[in-house]
Amino acid sequence: MNLSKITAIIGIICLGTLTALALDNNINKTCEYSKNICSMLQYSKENQTAKAIDLYKQLSESEKNEFVALLERQPGIVPPFYFIDLADYVYKTDKDKAVFFFYFGKLRATEDVLMCKDETARAQLSVYPLMAPDTLDYMSTKYDDMNYIPAVLQKTIDWDNANPERVSPIWSCYHGLDAFSQEPVLLDADKFPKIQKKVQKIVKNSIKEFKKEYKKHF
């Protein structure tokens, strides 16, 4: 290999490295959080959920606390499954907040997955309770309180409506069987308001049913 080819290859490698560094610096210049969280936010925006999750697993305790605070201010900045996964972490310091995190995450994750054309993606909803056992055990002790669970569920609806900004629901479609052979596909965006209304109605009906059953037994 002659000197000119070697020089050209070195130039390409250097250019690629500098480009990657420039992109990384650009992400963090406009982000006030830790480098890991900033990169997570960027990956979430680009629908690169797997890369975001890899970074999420590396978060330190202080970064997790920072991330929790961020989600409370901007709940739609990342996919909602983070609320579910963080529930048992939050439980260590605030049990009631943990319950809200779980149910808010589940509400939004349900809305997102119903936007997938591949209905097999919905199977993930049955896994979410396994991600927050401590939180759900605590919530089960609240069944004798007529107001606790309805208040939590109503708050999830209120938060859902008060925070319309959200990342694409496409993240949820990668859990469907079709994703093994092709890129997931979403329903048309104009279908979302109807889906959101449907999911919220189910939650509202759950509130009514809970109160009805409570009056029967207490």
Give the chain's length: 218
Give bridge partners of residue 186 from the DSSP assignment: 116
| pLDDT, tens digit only, all 218 positions of the chain | 554 443 443 343 343 443 333 344 444 457 999 999 999 999 999 999 999 999 999 999 999 999 999 999 999 999 999 999 999 999 999 999 999 999 999 999 999 999 999 999 999 999 999 999 999 999 999 999 999 999 999 999 999 999 999 999 999 999 999 999 999 999 999 999 999 999 999 999 999 999 998 888 77
Collapsing DSSP to helix, strand or coil, 116 comes out as: strand
Angle between helices 95-113 and 192-217 (to 10 degrees): 140
Place of tokens 């069944």: 143
Q: Residue 186 in 3-state DSSP?
A: strand
DSSP state of 187: P
